[in-house]
Amino acid sequence: MPKIVDKAAKRQEILEAAIAVFLEKGYHGAKMADIAVAASMGKGTLYEYFPTKEALPKEIFNLFFAGLDDQLAQLQQSKQGPIDIIVAGIQLSLADMDEFAAVMPLCFELLGSKALNESLGLSEYFEGWLEQLNQFFVATLVAGQESGQITLALNAKAFARMLVSTVDGMGLHYCMFQMDAAFFQLQCQELEVMIRQRLQG
């Protein structure tokens, strides 16, 4: 009887092995053979899942962003008020920062190389995710204004973009400077207070 392989689990193992190798050797220095060894498999099996090294980075970052779109969509369909939805969206976006901080050196290496960045399309990848977050905020703010739950004395598009910049900046700052997690939570709490005050007018 043929052995049943959990392909999703196997992909996860490969990506975790790739992260470890990239962080140890750098993207340029890493070889597919190194990743195969780290994943305890033959190169042939590795190539069945990822035909090139270039196929790995986006999939690695998807480990952190996968499912966030669905979670944001579920939030918008929830019975929470729009202000609570926005706060919850920010909390989702800033969750698991310790895990993302672990791959930040790889992110900087890839984005710092113009050739790699262009060939892998990473800038567009991250810009696309931030734009999805922006649209989530805009739609929620507008709906809140229409229902009378968010002040009309607010430019929804400008405020949404500010929220995206704040989330992006706070996450980046946490990862770059290895901020104390408890202090980071205090910052998030202060941000929530300011957002609620502004949206309530």
From its phi and psi, is residue 60 left (phi > 0), alpha (psi between -120 and 50) or beta?
Answer: alpha
Q: Which tops the pLDDT comparison, 97 or 155?
A: 155
Distance CA 155, CA 178 (A): 34
pTM of the predicted model as reported, rounded to 2 decimal places: 0.85
Tell me the per-residue pLDDT of 41-92, one tens digit each, with 9 for 90 and over.
999 999 999 999 999 998 998 887 777 888 898 998 999 999 999 999 999 9
CATH superfamily, region 67-200: Tetracycline Repressor, domain 2 (1.10.357.10)
- Work out whether the CA dihedral 58, 59, 64, 66 comes out positive or negative: positive
Domain boundaries, the chain: 7-58, 67-200
Mean pLDDT of the chain: 91
The confidence band for 1, taking pLDDT boundaries of 50, 70 and 90, is very low
Whether 186 has a pLDDT exceeding 70, the answer reads yes
In terms of C-beta density within 10 A (0-12 exposed, 13-18 middle, 19 or more buried), how is residue 39 classed? buried
Report residue 195 as tokens. 């957002």
Distance CA 191, CA 88 (A): 12
Residues 38, 20: contact at Cβ < 8 Å?
A: yes
Whether 106 has a pLDDT exceeding 50, the answer reads yes
CATH top-level class for 7-58? mainly alpha
| Span 96-105, average pLDDT | 86
Distance CA 160, CA 137 (A): 5
